[in-house]
Structure 1
């Protein structure tokens, strides 16, 4: 029964909100309200339970004072219990039944209803938004740093709201209740309490904002530290190849030192805050108890009043430390949320237009119409400014045509492909696929119609099957195996086994596919695109990681893959694209030559020069023949 009740509470907040992904606000309180607004009834319940709980604590102290006074004035101890049985029974009910019920209800609301559900919901919503950020967003930041902010922000946002409700309302009810009981005994007992409260608020106003500021810096330094460490782990092969473990130690040590210094600055402030708090509490304890004793000697208060005042002062002293720590934690968490918000709430610079429609590709014609592009800025006004990456380029690829892009490094070939995939928006001109401007179609539908095998093949740290199924998630096992066979990958997949004993298509490939050779990764990537079977195909150095023997084996598979598709292929090894229908030669973002392999050799231009530099190899002679 109890377990079922706990489960019921845990399922009140639905963590996976499947509504449209929206950008969180970029101002702090609006950011908070964005996530808390749908869940406000749960926080109101927490507030009510907290108020009831703190009221009960004050009432119990009042009971104690009343009983002490009645014990002192009652003439016959033998009849005391029978005379005041109603008061004792009420006190027992409050202490044994009501207080545990209210306290448990408070914990149930906080732990079962709010904690896990709210944190997971915030993480889910922020992850969904960040995942849809532009490619440039991820290229300009550490992946580990971004992930750390998503994880921290969810926890800190929930915790700061819960702590604020508990601290403010608990402290308010305790203080007001105590002041009323003090005043009921003698109004003069409230004077030390009011003076203490004023000094306490001044201390909070001084220390808490500074703790928030320093915790923000500490959080930023912690995120940077995580980002640097994850960056080293992600590129562990490069670290080991260049024997730079000590260099990475230094790189991490700098971030760790900065984080430690920021943390120590925060801790120094906390130590100073505690010193002030201990001093204020000592003054309150001595002043209030002393005043009560003096008033008792003058006959203005009773022994019961002294018991109540002393008990409440001790409770206030204990509570004040908890409240100040809680408020400090609240502002520390607010600092973490603020720091996370600065990354999470960045606008998505590459969004679908409001009227975007799914792309339909019945034929596969690609037309680039006077396109201009420069990463991050337009061309400067000065005549000697460097040219754009792509400068007034026009090109039409007919349906089913196989086009090869040729040029020196930096000529703009990969940028052209990135623009076709709309990883970046054009600065001028337009790109059309079957007459549809890609700026006005949905990005998901655009990329669903384009298959691509890249030079730097990156696999997900999942099973081989999952990686191939990325091309078409609803494909059957038979189709997965067929695609692997076409890519000449089935034989080596059958012999794979990971550290957990998973074999074949169930074996996991490691982060970015590090457990496989370059050629193996490339063949799985080709199998993935074979399974996708999109009408437009892009090959960006698709066979660069394969040796000549494997490349010749897979070439037949690539030819089958290209059959009936519009193909754009990039290759520095010219022999691999010499047989294309047409070759486009680029230089400084412009097309300077185009034609077949034979036509371009006769022109004796840039293509001919590049070909002659590579013509000493077998593949070059075979392709020429």
Structure 2
């Protein structure tokens, strides 16, 4: 039975995620519309539960009146059917309605609803540009996605459950009291007006504080996660105390939103206590007055006082639920500001799959500034012929890595065109483009998964034998076999830690190289691919790298010029422009920037003087 209700909603809808709306109601509806039929059913059940509970109070009033004047000998004969139906409502109707309400709410909606939101939001966030994540804390983004899912669910379900339940229940209670004694209705209506005014005054203020609190919570979490993620840097610079202060500042900002919130809660509680006390006094006084005047029965007084006591408890429940509602609305709205941001780099509806048969790369008068004034790359043209191995040389900031970024379409160009085999990369899918380019970067970041999973990331369909072969070609197999993680997993099953922190820089780099061996893409981009390797290991895998480059178009970036001196052509960049091209021997003899860089090398690295660095 539970499984049937749990499987009514698919928590992982297959539809491609689209940008959510940036207004709160539309944002919530965007994630709710697939769940709405089940919310409608719970609304009907909630209303039915409210009506049945009011009927029970009415029945209790009748019981009091019957027992004060009925003949015990004929009571069951006179009221038997009324007793039977009320018993059926109490014993069967109310529990059965509550059962279906609970099954739908807790089995169908509560688990699946936020998972639908997380799934859609996560898939959409994966489509955000590289630049988006450079401007955000990863922990902050993850917190926003998690909070928004719960915020939307709680906001929607509370609105459906609270307003329908309270509206139907209070409306039914007022009608019931009015049928018993008209004057008894007056205190209820006055109390309702007072209650609405209190909520109207306090809850918007709590909403504002909740929005600030949600944002402060995300910042606090992001700062703590940032410290944990970069724990090696923290320890190397002995800055644990500084990180404490960094986190404490965010925690203090969070606490500054908590105290005002609690002050509002206290004053609202006290105000509600006074309103409830006056309601009980008024109803009891009017009820007794009506009984003495013969206008109200003992049963009417019992029902009215019972409803007051019920409403008193309900008023606190509603208050906290509404406070929670506004807190959740604040969480949803805060998450919306991150999740609903447009994707900068997108595939158009007309995009095609990139087909690479030759591997020619053409940069045609490209321009890119990272959205800033002044040029990083201005009007640059470069053609890499099919199968050609080209090395990019230049000082730091010359634009070498920027060329790699725009080739991979991590950023969209501001002008010009990049073509692969004559196909504009802006008109092909990002996945098809990147699947045909193998990349090894200087800063290798591994996933916190097994070594096998990290290598197989280059080709998820690869067999274990292929994974091992790729590791051997990258000279990584021997050290992998010696790995053991904290849970006792060994070899290729060992987990590498967050961002691969359990491995040395050279070990991470060799896994990254093995991953590209396994990918076997027709175009290779090597951005300081061997920078983290010592000379002995680099020499050991250089032949394998040469084998990997065979028959492929290669763009290699290196500060250690000896690693690219034997490539077909070297291209020298300075301030985003090509200033020299040729072989190593040609450029070394030309006396230009390349010759200067080569002459300044110490151990094979480019030396950059202080003046040149300042200019960059």
**Under a length normalisation based on structure 1, what TM-score does the superposition of the two structures give?**
0.96
Matches of 1:408 and 1:184, distance apart in 2 = 89
3-state SS of 2:356 partner = coil
Counterpart position of 1:382: none
Matches of 2:586 and 2:420, distance apart in 1 = 28
Deviation at 1:82, TM superposition (A): 3.7
The answer to whether the 8 Å contact 2:562/2:604 transfers is no
| Aligned mate of 1:617, from 564, 585, 603 | 603
Matches of 1:361 and 1:177, distance apart in 2 = 71
Matched, 1:313 2:308: yes
3-state SS of 2:68 partner = helix
| Aligned mate of 2:44, from 34, 48, 54 | 48
Counterpart position of 1:7: 3
Matches of 2:549 and 2:162, distance apart in 1 = 66
Counterpart position of 1:182: 177
| Aligned mate of 1:72, from 60, 68, 89 | 68
3-state SS of 1:293 partner = helix
After TM superposition, list the pairs within 5 Å mapping 1:185-196 onto structure 2: 185-196=180-191
3-state SS of 1:48 partner = helix
Matches of 1:252 and 1:151, distance apart in 2 = 21
3-state SS of 1:16 partner = coil
Task: Summarize deviations over 1:364-394 as a string: whole Å, max 9, x none.
Answer: 11111111110114x4xxxxxxx30001111
Structure 1, unmatched stretches of 5+, are 380-386, 621-625
Matched, 1:427 2:414: yes
Matches of 2:136 and 2:129, distance apart in 1 = 12
Counterpart position of 2:483: 496
Deviation at 1:618, TM superposition (A): 7.5
Matched, 1:545 2:532: yes
Matches of 1:617 and 1:266, distance apart in 2 = 62
Matches of 2:597 and 2:292, distance apart in 1 = 107
Matched, 1:581 2:576: no
Counterpart position of 1:251: 246
| Aligned mate of 1:375, from 370, 381, 385 | 370
Deviation at 1:579, TM superposition (A): 0.7
Task: State the 4+ residue runs in structure 1 displaced beyond 6 angstroms.
Answer: none
Deviation at 1:208, TM superposition (A): 1.1
Matched, 1:16 2:12: yes
Matched, 1:94 2:69: no
Matched, 1:536 2:523: yes
Counterpart position of 1:62: 58
The answer to whether the 8 Å contact 2:17/2:121 transfers is no
Counterpart position of 1:572: 559
Matches of 1:480 and 1:419, distance apart in 2 = 30
| Aligned mate of 2:31, from 35, 39, 42 | 35
Matches of 2:249 and 2:131, distance apart in 1 = 26
The answer to whether the 8 Å contact 2:527/2:558 transfers is yes
Task: Summarize deviations over 1:12-45 as a string: whole Å, max 9, x none.
Answer: 1100111122111111111111111111110011
Matches of 1:189 and 1:30, distance apart in 2 = 42
Deviation at 1:619, TM superposition (A): 9.6
| Aligned mate of 2:352, from 351, 354, 357 | 357
Counterpart position of 1:231: 226
Deviation at 1:518, TM superposition (A): 0.7
**Under a length normalisation based on structure 2, what TM-score does the superposition of the two structures give?**
0.97
Counterpart position of 1:592: 579
Matches of 2:116 and 2:16, distance apart in 1 = 14
Counterpart position of 1:169: 164
Deviation at 1:77, TM superposition (A): 2.6
Matches of 1:545 and 1:168, distance apart in 2 = 62
Task: Summarize deviations over 1:63-100 as a string: whole Å, max 9, x none.
Answer: 010111111122x3343234322222222221111111
Task: Summarize deviations over 1:314-350 as a string: whole Å, max 9, x none.
Answer: 1111111111221221111111100000000000011
Q: CA RMSD in A?
A: 1.2
Matches of 2:382 and 2:253, distance apart in 1 = 51
The answer to whether the 8 Å contact 2:173/2:307 transfers is yes
Deviation at 1:219, TM superposition (A): 0.4
3-state SS of 1:77 partner = coil
Deviation at 1:223, TM superposition (A): 0.5
Deviation at 1:152, TM superposition (A): 1.1
Matches of 2:97 and 2:300, distance apart in 1 = 27
Matches of 1:422 and 1:336, distance apart in 2 = 33
Task: Summarize deviations over 1:223-246 as a string: whole Å, max 9, x none.
Answer: 001111111111111111111111
Deviation at 1:289, TM superposition (A): 1.2
